[in-house]
Structure 1
Amino acid sequence: MTVHSDQPFDPDNDKCGPGVRVPPPMMVAGSILLGVGLNLIVPLTLSTLVYWPGVFLMAVAVCLALACVWQFWRAKTHIEPWQPTSRIIVSGVYRFSRNPIYLAMFVFQVGLGLWLLNGWVVLCGSVTLRLLSYFAIRKEEAYLLAKFGDDYQTYMQQVRRWF
């Protein structure tokens, strides 16, 4: 039973999670491919000066994502947004952002665009943010509010969505 059905949500009988249908990495990949495709039509080539900052951003993003994976593993809960979760993670990087994995995906995309010297991939980062916000975060937040109630509401008030 998902939060978005006509049936009331039963947190004790949670088998479906937040109901995110498209895996967020696929949303990011689609946005990156859009940028690559746009660059084939109308090149938006960046200066070679942004190559190394792009490498740095990709490395930061990978480290951030690995820290998140580690926290989910330690908490013994699902990282996949189509699976039910057993707890809210509020420590580590989750003290600063409610969505550090999605932040890592966005930063990786920007870094990749810089590394490829492809301005379209960088600009399509805004598409990534919108896709993640609408198709993943919105559903996840509704699910977590229904499942954890006041605890998640307090967390939302204390920690920003992105950073």
Structure 2
Amino acid sequence: MKLNPPDYFMTLLIISIITNYALPTIKIVYYPYNLIGIILITLGIYLNLDPHFKYKKLKNPIEPTEKPRTLITNGAFRISRNPMYLGMISILLGTAIIYGNLISFAFPIILYIMIRTITIPVEEGILTKEFGKKYEEYKKKVRRWI
């Protein structure tokens, strides 16, 4: 089974945008408070780009089911074992806050559940197999999310 969290993310982002304009909404966040979403989107972009460039530099595969070459523990990986997933959720949450409608808040929750139950168990199993004690020590020092 191919696990592709960016596909989950993009699908949910597109659905979020469409539902914001196509369905009646219940507004729960209003201007200027909805501008907080810009901060979360910016943070989410950083949390995706920093690891992406580290993966490329170290020639590590980004696909969760492929064998990693290196255990990356610096940059965004110092604060989260899953910074790219955290970034995707942050972007969806930021989008929900900007739109301010109730239904948009379902999408970051759905993505969290999908990643937490489908992707992370497989990925952590691979990392444990490849890096053993080194990965276990990293898990003790760095939380899964934040």
Same fold by TM-score, threshold 0.5 exceeded?
yes
Using the aligned pairs only, state the percent identity: 24
The two structures, once aligned, show a CA RMSD in angstroms of 2.1
Pair 1:112-2:95 in alignment? yes
- Structure with greater helix percent: 2
Match of 1:48 in 2: 31
Q: 2: distance between equivalents of 1:93 and 1:129?
A: 18
CA contact (8 A) 2:68 2:130 kept: no
Q: Whose radius of gyration is greater, 1 or 2?
A: 1
TM-score for both structures, normalised by structure 2: 0.85
**Alignment partner of 1:93 out of 61, 76, 87:** 76
Q: Distance in 1 between matches of 2:59 and 2:5?
A: 21
Structure 1 counterpart of 2:25, one-letter code = P
Aligned residue runs from structure 1 range 34-45, under 5 A: 36-37=18-19, 40-41=22-23, 43-45=25-27
Return 5+ residue gaps in structure 2 as ranges: none
Structure 1 residue 25 corresponds to structure 2 residue 6: yes
For residue 83 of structure 1, what is the aligned residue in structure 2?
Answer: 66
C-alpha distance in structure 1 between counterparts of 2:70 and 2:132, whole Å: 12
List structure 1 segments (4+ residues) > 6 angstroms apart after TM superposition: none
Unaligned runs of 5+ in 1: 1-18
With normalisation by structure 1, the TM-score equals: 0.77
